[in-house]
Structure 1
Amino acid sequence: MTRLTKLPFILFILAAITACAGPKVSQDYNEDTEFDPGWGRYEWRGGTSQIDGVPHSRLQRITEQAMVQRGYRLDPDNPQFYVSVSGTTRAAIGGGKSVGISIGLPVGNRGSIGLGGSKSLEDRKQEGVIIVDITNAESNELVWRGSAEGIPLRDFDLSREPQLRNVIDRLLAQFPPE
């Protein structure tokens, strides 16, 4: 490959790796639920924040801004659905660390015997999780849950609020499910 053809290839690989990185968003809902396309009014219902230095009111404010951008409006007197948002931390999943050693001893002209071992190292890295619940106001049934996992705790810092907004936007982009 020439230098000019290598560069786009390398950029493509980097873009693919970057796209896979970051928080994972997912949703859960009963597939028999018919989501009313006329839903536009909501009210807050509960939620918590168990993330140090992050008040629940901040998560609620960011979520409310994302809801408004999607055309929903807060209507405490006549809601069609309730929204709750919660944040917590947990031990990071994946990316474990281990250390190992092996020794190879020659046997004869062509053979060898190997002996090895390894030890997993404890990794106490924490990550953030955000959960948004949507409850039908008429039936009081939970109809949709969205979650974002693997959020770096630094993204909850005030200086990195745009990253947190992006995660919540991606999360709410799944509602209502298609």
Structure 2
Amino acid sequence: MSIEVLNESGEVPSPVPEQELADLGRHVLEQLRVHPLAELTITLVDEPAMAALHERWMDLPGPTDVMSFPMDELRPGHDEDEPAEGVLGDVVLCPSVARAQAAAAGHAVGDELLLLTTHGILHLLGFDHAEPEDEREMFDLQRTLLLTFLAQRGRSTTAAPEAGRA
């Protein structure tokens, strides 16, 4: 599995170590049985760069927290089929927007970025939250993936960000 993490946000050090973001990405992709040769890029950007992406692709003003750009429309694997190989796509995060959200929610910015990364990867895999039933499915899965990742890292899951939003 190829996971590249790029910090173009200007925040050094990053609020989340690049290796932790890559490890989370690997965890999510393995849990969802995505082909082991799939490629994923996670990029952290500043507010002007995120605002430009948000306006160009969503026709909405200002920066947002996370955006996903799927490439080969890969989907989670199932027991009865072999997952397809290819480029999953890009998840773009804005740490400064995540910082404000984390402060409002009362948790660490690093935890917010882990939540947003999980959310972005699920969007790459075709999950959405436009309809109530889809929202429940996506956010339940998001919560499970994030909490199992944190538990494997030996981190408390009681202080984890509310994984039912993003």
- TM-score per shorter chain, which class? 0.3 to 0.5
Q: In terms of Rg, which structure is larger?
A: 1
More strand by share: 1
Query: TM-score, normalization: structure 2?
Result: 0.38
Query: TM-score, normalization: structure 1?
Result: 0.36
- Identify which of structures 1 and 2 has the higher relative contact order when contacts are C-alpha pairs closer than 8 Å and 6+ apart: 1
